Amino acid sequence: MKNIIIKDKKQYLILLKKLFDKCDSFKIVVPLNKIFSNVNNNSMPLIIQKLLPYSTNSENASTWPGTKVSRGQKKNYRIYTFKICSQTFDIMKKYSNFFDVKVENEIEYYTSFNEDIQLDISFFEDNNCIFYTTVHEGICMIEKELS
């Protein structure tokens, strides 16, 4: 795997198309404190609300590509798995990147999918991770042959 920088929406869309052509699923990690059980799912990040009809699985976890959570935070995250299809591509292509850099009071931090939240995403082919983000560190990693 190698680290890549996605500079603009054009590069994001080119990469997204490659990932959707090669992979069979993708996953998004959501902190459990961002998910509340209510009928309307209004507390869930908007991207998850949009993608939820295409979810094939969800599970609580403490590890995912690029991240292993410290002992005190075990299982405080939910990983949603989504199928690769034209509908999920249409949702994902509306964004400009997997994450954005924000600056507030001279402090730089990262947000995901136009929301004030950090959501890691990973793409898989036959259960092999081809691409993942570690948003809190501003990292995108990709298999060398896909880059």
- Structural tokens at position 77: 């995250």
pLDDT confidence of residue 46: 92
pTM above 0.85, yes or no: yes
Residue that is written with structure tokens 């590069």 in the block: 11
pLDDT confidence of residue 121: 96
Each residue's pLDDT, cut to its tens digit, for the chain (147 residues) gives 999 999 999 999 999 999 999 999 999 999 876 554 444 455 789 999 999 999 999 999 888 988 887 766 666 889 999 999 999 999 999 999 999 888 888 888 888 998 888 899 999 999 999 999 999 888 999 997 776
Question: Around Cβ 57, how many Cβ atoms within 10 Å?
Answer: 11
Strand intervals (E) in 63-127: 63-64, 67-68, 77-83, 100-104, 107-111, 121-125
